[in-house]
């Protein structure tokens, strides 16, 4: 089942001044349950591609179909709701809400979705357990290590039961041990629950664990390898 399909997407920054072509016609199809790494040197367009797939940025041209919906044609407000329901995000700098505890950070998305308190709390416990930090539930992000924060971020990304999780350089700020733990968790979620993960990464440890590696260079896919 196809989760994401991009057709000829381009992205040009500063089109009227000094045009920078970040993407030059990218066709990519991601199916449910894939564990995909998008790799490439800096400036190759990895983050731009992820932002466009995640509905955070607009393509200059082309079509992005997510779960059967062409997200290039929907309004900003609908896109916010679409992201809330369909997409989980994991950011390089964790980006947790500093004034909320780990449990509250995970619960937050479900609150936005209007899920009942009982269901929220049950799911928070499950999610924190699944990423192995149930004992840190009441701590604020500043009291957690980088690895723990990123695991909370993964739990938060999964809270809304999204169609897929986009992770932009999720291990960039983590040490080896934390990276290995995070990858184990994501691999387990992928294998056991069939969650689709798409990473942009430089990190060889992530690339080694990915089952599909899409390589970008100068805004174009130069290789797409499934292992």
Task: Report whether 103 contacts 62 (CB < 8 A).
Answer: no
Which is closer to other proteins, CB of 111 or CB of 222?
Answer: 111
Min dist CB 89 to other proteins, Å, is: 6
Which is closer to other proteins, CB of 97 or CB of 225?
Answer: 97
Min dist CB 103 to other proteins, Å, is: 13
The footprint of other proteins (CB under 8 A) covers 51, 54, 56-57, 77, 80-81, 83-85, 89, 91, 93, 95, 97-100, 108-109, 111-113, 156, 160
**How far are the Cα atoms of 75, 95, 159, 199 from residue 92, in angstroms, in the given order?**
27, 8, 18, 10
Sign of torsion over alpha carbons 191, 208, 153, 200: negative
The encoded tokens of residue 193 equal: 């629950």
The DSSP symbol for 151 reads H
Min dist CB 134 to other proteins, Å, is: 21
Which is closer to other proteins, CB of 99 or CB of 225?
Answer: 99
Min dist CB 177 to other proteins, Å, is: 26
Find the helix or strand (DSSP H, E) in which 89 lies: strand 87-90
């Amino acid at each position: 089942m196809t989760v994401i399909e991009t057709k000829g997407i381009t992205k040009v920054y500063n089109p009227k001044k000094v045009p920078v072509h970040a993407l030059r016609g990218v066709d990519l199809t991601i199916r449910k349950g894939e564990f995909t790494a998008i790799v490439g040197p800096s400036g190759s367009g990895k983050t731009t591609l992820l932002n466009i797939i995640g509905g955070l940025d607009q393509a200059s041209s082309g079509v992005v179909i997510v779960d059967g919906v062409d997200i290039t044609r929907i309004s900003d407000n609908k896109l916010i709701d679409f992201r809330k329901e369909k997409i989980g995000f994991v950011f390089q700098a964790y980006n947790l809400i500093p004034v909320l505890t780990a449990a509250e950070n995970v619960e937050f998305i479900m609150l936005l979705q209007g899920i009942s308190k009982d269901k929220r709390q049950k799911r928070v416990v499950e999610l924190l357990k699944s990423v192995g930090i149930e004992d840190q539930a009441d701590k604020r992000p500043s009291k957690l290590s980088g690895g723990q924060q990123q695991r909370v971020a993964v739990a938060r990304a999964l809270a809304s039961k999204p169609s897929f999780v986009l992770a932009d350089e999720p291990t960039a700020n983590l040490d080896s041990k934390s990276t290995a733990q995070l990858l184990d968790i994501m691999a387990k979620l992928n294998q056991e629950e069939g969650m689709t993960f798409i990473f942009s990464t430089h990190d060889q440890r992530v690339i080694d664990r990915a089952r599909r590696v899409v390589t970008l260079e100068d805004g174009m896919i130069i290789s797409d390898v499934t292992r």
